[in-house]
Structure 1
Amino acid sequence: MYAISLGDDGAELRPLEPWRAEEFLAHIDRGREFIGQHVALPDFVTDLASSRSFLQRYADKRAADAGRIDGIWTDGKLVGGVLFRTMDLDQGTAEAGCWLEPSAAGRGLVTRATRVIIDWAVEERGIHRVEWYASAANEPSIAVARRLGMTKEGVLRESYLYRGTRCDMEIWSVLAHEWRASRG
């Protein structure tokens, strides 16, 4: 296992593995309403079995080199995470995502953690294009895309049915050469 420092505040990025299902469920329960405003994660993780199953799907993706999930810890407590929902090495594309419980919001944790996984995807896995999908109403997620130097490519109008409401989805991306240039 690894732990990557996210800065001087003691925050760390670590793999979220199936054996952490109980901790993951407790984290989702703490932030269920906040996380669920724009992200369906709390709808999928409702009990210990679904928590374990969700993390196992990502362990399988990691093993197949088709995705990954990492948690963000502060002071030894899981407070959020970042992931690659999809990762296609043949095409050189990956879709990144994130979530955070309210106690950790506004501290730049998601931006810092996403930088780590994009660096890994571009430099170690050869990903050419990282995509970021966000509900047009999810201003914090869109702000992360901007801070990461992503380009807004468009809006998929009413493309996502979420809890009975059709939502517009914004598509953002960064290409490997843009990422490297922005990292100096």
Structure 2
Amino acid sequence: MFSIPLGDDGAELRPLEPWQAEEFLANIDRGREFIGRYVGLADAVTDLASSRAYLQRYADKAAADTGRIYGTWLDGTLVGGVLFRTMDVPMGTAEAGCWLEPSAAGRGLATRAARVIIDWAIGERGVHRVEWVVAAGNLASVAVARRLGMTREGVLRESFPHGGERYDMELWSVLAPEWRSAARQHGNGHRRVP
């Protein structure tokens, strides 16, 4: 299996597959309350069967070329990940997202991992527009969108019911020419992700 280093702190990005359901469940369990504050992932992955089913859905999406999921490991422990919740290569669009357990927050892991998958989607797959949809109160995820150079396009008011509340969702995006321009300015090349 491949892994891509995300820096010199022992962090790496790897595929997250159904056979890793136990490790994925442990990651979600360690951060269930933190992850579940704004993201439905904690509600979807509650036991080993649902963990395996969630990862299988992404394996099926990868096979159909409509989504991907990758884990972020820190010193050998799965601490979060990034994904393309949706991916429509013929239309040139994808929606990226992330999750982290609390012990991994504040280290730039989500931003570094998202850069790798966005580089791949734009550079290798020809995706033109990558979106990031985030609850307005999820300041950490909003900060990731900003660090990725995304533009805030608007707010979908009270569009996401979660945990007995309705959340405003912000829509952020980056277009391929903007991404490439920023990469040239910072001397970043594209990394290959299968």
TM over 0.5: yes
Secondary structure of 2:90's counterpart equals coil
- Per-residue CA shift, 1:40-93, capped at 9, x if unaligned? 101000000000000000000011111000000011000000000000011100
Match of 1:27 in 2: 27
Match of 1:123 in 2: 123
Q: Distance in 2 between matches of 1:157 and 1:74?
A: 36
RMSD of the TM alignment (CA)? 0.5
Contiguous gaps of at least 5 residues in structure 1: none
Q: Distance in 1 between matches of 2:134 and 2:168?
A: 9
Structure 1 stretches of at least 4 aligned residues deviating more than 6 Å after TM superposition: none
Match of 1:182 in 2: 182
Match of 1:101 in 2: 101
Letter in 2 for 1:169: M
Say how many residue pairs are matched: 184
Letter in 2 for 1:175: L
Q: Distance in 1 between matches of 2:153 and 2:179?
A: 16
Q: Distance in 2 between matches of 1:31 and 1:141?
A: 15
Contiguous gaps of at least 5 residues in structure 2: 185-194
Q: How does 1:1-184 map to 2 (within 5 A)?
A: 1-184=1-184
User: How far 1:10 moved relative to its partner?
Assistant: 1.2
With the length of structure 2 as denominator, give the TM-score of the two structures. 0.94
Q: Distance in 1 between matches of 2:10 and 2:67?
A: 26
Q: Distance in 2 between matches of 1:27 and 1:144?
A: 20
Secondary structure of 1:8's counterpart equals coil
Percent identity among equivalent residues? 75
